[in-house]
Amino acid sequence: MNLIRLACAAATAVVLWTQPGLAQGGSVERLYILNCGEGVAGDISRWSPGVNVGKSMDFVDNCYLIKHAQGWMLWDTGLADAIAALPEGQAPRDPRMTHWRRPKTLAAQLEQLGVKPSDIKYVAVSHTHPDHIGNVELFPQSMLLVQKAEYEWPSPVGPRFKAEHPVTKLEGDRDVFGDGSVTIISTPGHTPGHQSLLVKLAKTGAVLLSGDAVHFKSNWDNRGVPEGNFSKEQTVASMQHMADIMAKQKAQLWINHDKAQRDGLKLAPEFYD
């Protein structure tokens, strides 16, 4: 009888011990910003209608690598690494859009950090535009975290992901590691199943990674809704939802495509903790 009690107590202790976050309230060790593209947007009024008509702007494209006690997670995969081999980069069909280059591949940046593609437990994408999902198939074993509405959004060019790629189709927010340290936030509007990511770091504090819920700072300040967005109403509601979260969590907003902001941030191999 005593032995059984002892065994039960031990089992309970193991369960409590292995539940992340109970001890320190989160276990994100590092957040790296990776260079997943650089480009020039032809006309930024495309993203904020009526504002700065005809004005071009330098854009960047980021991926974010998270080292959590339970494993590695990649947020967005950027432009396809193959673009790095194109001397002129990738010109857009519409000159008002973005002419992209890829100064460094994602693969090379991971290698520099000593991270193998098979080390990545989760690959989550903000949405399925090509500058965010360009390298998903570098990680054929990683669990893909994408909203069901995004996964099932019909594409004129065929399926966005390989059918055999392991996937968790989300319907709303998701606490990725179960300890509140990394949370996917549903922010539809730019696309049907767009999502953003809230990361809580011990020293840096909370950071909200925008995805394309917003494209650059003045776009956020003006609550500009890009002309190609899936839903204007959802976009505006998602921006307000993000603002509410930022106020509550005292979170910084890191805007994926904002070059001026990225110029002031540390890129890998430096990191935030």
* Residues near Zn ion, by CB under 5 A: 129, 212
Q: Which is nearer to Zn ion, 81 or 212 (CB)?
A: 212
Q: Which is nearer to Zn ion, 129 or 148 (CB)?
A: 129
CB of residue 212 to Zn ion, shortest distance in Å: 4
CB of residue 141 to Zn ion, shortest distance in Å: 26
Q: Are 145 and 168 in contact (CB under 8 A)?
A: yes
The residue among 190, 75, 57 whose CA lies nearest residue 121 is 75
Any bridge partners for residue 60, and if so which? 38
CB of residue 179 to Zn ion, shortest distance in Å: 29
CB of residue 93 to Zn ion, shortest distance in Å: 15
Q: What is the torsional sign of CA 30, 271, 239, 169? A: negative
CB of residue 129 to Zn ion, shortest distance in Å: 4
Any bridge partners for residue 258, and if so which? 59
Which helix (H) or strand (E) is 244 found in, with range? helix 232-249
Q: Are 135 and 78 in contact (CB under 8 A)?
A: yes
Query: Strand, coil or helix: what is 79?
Result: coil
Q: What are phi and psi of 221, to 5 degrees?
A: -60, -35
Q: Which is nearer to Zn ion, 30 or 99 (CB)?
A: 99
Q: Which is nearer to Zn ion, 28 or 184 (CB)?
A: 184
Please state the length of the chain. 273
Q: Which is nearer to Zn ion, 76 or 212 (CB)?
A: 212
Q: Which is nearer to Zn ion, 30 or 129 (CB)?
A: 129
Which helix (H) or strand (E) is 19 found in, with range? none
* Token pair for 181: 């340290």
CB of residue 19 to Zn ion, shortest distance in Å: 36
